[in-house]
Structure 1
């Protein structure tokens, strides 16, 4: 009789904790960090993969949003028909990360390609999430392309900046950790 075994990956737990710690305030505040969800989906796609983890991260995001609104008094301003477009938004980040898996070596060229993938995935995610919110939420009466471009100019830079800062920081911490662990392993074998 075979029993299914659930394996808990520390990286998945760490990324889920990062999302849980930051998702309550999209832009951050003096008391809270900005939302790291986009970087979490990118890094999960890069390092972990698996459709079950993608679904688990989506469920976590939805649960956090529900708790923030229902229990903590966070505004429900962003909840609209466009909320469903967070699924393809996060899928864009996930697939951007998965695409970066092809780079086994860590060197300037591969890091540059990963950076381009991160910017591209984040840009597509922005167009999906903010575009759907602008056009479908009902919050922008008489929405037009000029208004959308003004919104783009206002919010896109921070959207990209926060995602890049989280992704680069976590990537660097993981690389540093691997380096330290590799040095310790080498010292123990000599």
Structure 2
């Protein structure tokens, strides 16, 4: 499989993961955490050279899934409490995750220890920025918070940061393990050079 085919498969898998977990459709019997944050981080790692169209495609999918879920509840999309002017801050919030994945990718060829450090740091920083943009805009701009205060915002920000970071880290960790397995399998299947 060439590089573009590999990227296309990764994009399809990420889109499927986001659509399934964001809608929670097949999991009515148990809640499955939304993988969207990890999808954008992982997308930035693998699809950095496709950013111009892969990021907007995944962003459109996220909005489309939200519309479908909200509409399926019999609610007008723009009347839902989650959809306000703040909703559109998800674009820069998710792009922060995408950039974090892209930064991690730049260090991929270096030593494993250094790469793991950069991977963890870039995931953490991009999740903090994403939460700042997504939650901060919702708290300060939407009509859902009657009397916003700095103390109220800070409590809300810190209360939700750890669960979102944990979910993104779990999905990213699973992707990293799969990546290591695929790379090891590819090396094992590669024909050995007999001339050495």
Superposition TM-score, scaled by structure 1 size: 0.87
Is residue 2:179 matched to residue 1:174? yes
In structure 2, how many angstroms separate the alpha carbons of the residues matched to 1:90 and 1:29?
26
Is residue 2:17 matched to residue 1:12? no
Shift of 1:83: 0.4
SS in 1 for 2:190: helix
Once the two structures are superposed, what CA deviation does each residue of 1:107-156 show, in whole Å capped at 9, x if it has no partner?
A: 01211111000000000000000000000111111100111111123211
Taking structure 1 as reference, are residues 131 and 29 closer, same or farther at Cα in structure 2, changes over 3 Å only? Answer: farther
In structure 2, how many angstroms separate the alpha carbons of the residues matched to 1:30 and 1:148?
33
In structure 1, how many angstroms separate the alpha carbons of the residues matched to 2:172 and 2:12?
16
In structure 2, how many angstroms separate the alpha carbons of the residues matched to 1:64 and 1:132?
21
Taking structure 1 as reference, are residues 89 and 183 closer, same or farther at Cα in structure 2, changes over 3 Å only? Answer: same
- Unpaired runs of at least 5, structure 2: none
Map of 1:70-109 to 2, 5 A cutoff? 70-72=71-73, 76-103=80-107, 104-105=109-110, 107-109=112-114
Taking structure 1 as reference, are residues 73 and 21 closer, same or farther at Cα in structure 2, changes over 3 Å only? Answer: farther
Shift of 1:172: 1.2
In structure 2, how many angstroms separate the alpha carbons of the residues matched to 1:138 and 1:109?
44
SS in 2 for 1:23: helix
Two-structure CA RMSD over aligned residues (Å): 2.2
Higher helix share: 2
